[in-house]
Amino acid sequence: MSRRGREGAPSDDVLLRALDLLVERDGIVEAGERLGVNYRTAAKCLEERHVSRRMRQALEKYLREQTEQEELEDQATAPVPDEQGGGEEALLQEPAEEWRRAVDKLGVELASLRERVEAVEGRVSRGPDDGGGEGDVDDAHEVDAGHAVEQQRSVPVPRRVFPELVTEHPEPGEEQVYGAAAEEVVQWREAWADRKQARYTLDWLRGEGRRLELELRLIGVFGLTPPPADAPWGERRRERELDWRRRALRRLRWQLPLTWCLHWLLRGLTLGRWGGTGEH
């Protein structure tokens, strides 16, 4: 149940959501350090879904700092207006350029697809009398290709306000949105699900490592933005997100062997009863 500690303060739901996102991004230990509390305190709040007075103060302070940081970054990147109102023009110029490039790219892809479809339709309309032997075989292949193109066109492209956003769940026709990144988006969803369903720390670290590796490619190579973001990141935010993922992956790579040793030590002490179903 959502409640407020005082008038105008964030509700428990808002604070718990902020904690969820922080732990998903940085892990429970680093999340506790950023909040200025012991990681056990943060873990208890995360598990019991109850915001104590201490956690409320820490989370409210964290949200204020995040808001202030975003405002400072917006001010730092905002254009300075000139005497002729150049600020508003500059403010609109960058998004307009991005949209123009996206539209140009889409136009090229549509033109290429249209040429292929017209070529197939032209060969089919001429019929078998226009050629024989090998030509008939070529026409058969072209007909198959035409059916494949027509079938692909029959699947509507998902209507997205922001095509750069990666969705947690698949959508029909999303291959036309993600293009070359479609396969890695599927792999990312699998890693995301494995990480969320992990019962033991070792399994969680493995899923987290795979997720980070895939997000480095999705963000850095394909320019996509993974959940829980609700809008595409700008260049500065994207570089910042890539940087902390690289650091998190480095930490995880030395933490994983230690956790593996601890995992097997606990299994030995409990005669295999602990962690048996989580180990592969």
Domain boundaries, the chain: 12-77, 86-154, 175-269
Report which secondary-structure segment, H or E, holds 259.
helix 235-269
Model pTM above 0.95: no
User: Residue 165: beta bridge partners?
Assistant: 225
Radius of gyration of the chain from Cα atoms?
26
Supply the pLDDT for residue 243: 93
Q: CA 239 to CA 245: how far, in whole Å?
A: 10
Supply the pLDDT for residue 140: 47
- In three-state form (DSSP H/G/I as H, E/B as E, the rest C), the secondary structure along 62-75 is HHHHHHHHHHHHHH
Supply the pLDDT for residue 87: 47
Report residue 56 CA to chain centroid gap: 28
Per-residue burial over 127-147, b = 16 or more CB atoms within 10 Å of its CB, e = otherwise: eeeeeeeeeeeebeebeeebe
Q: 188 near 226, Cβ under 8 Å?
A: yes
DSSP state of 81: P
Phi, psi of 85 (to 5 degrees): 75, 30
Supply the pLDDT for residue 273: 60
Q: How distant, in Å, are the alpha carbons of 104, 230, 246 from that of 160?
A: 18, 12, 29
Supply the pLDDT for residue 183: 94
Q: Which residues of the chain have a pLDDT value below 70?
A: 1-8, 73-158, 200, 263-264, 266-280
Supply the pLDDT for residue 258: 75
Supply the pLDDT for residue 122: 64
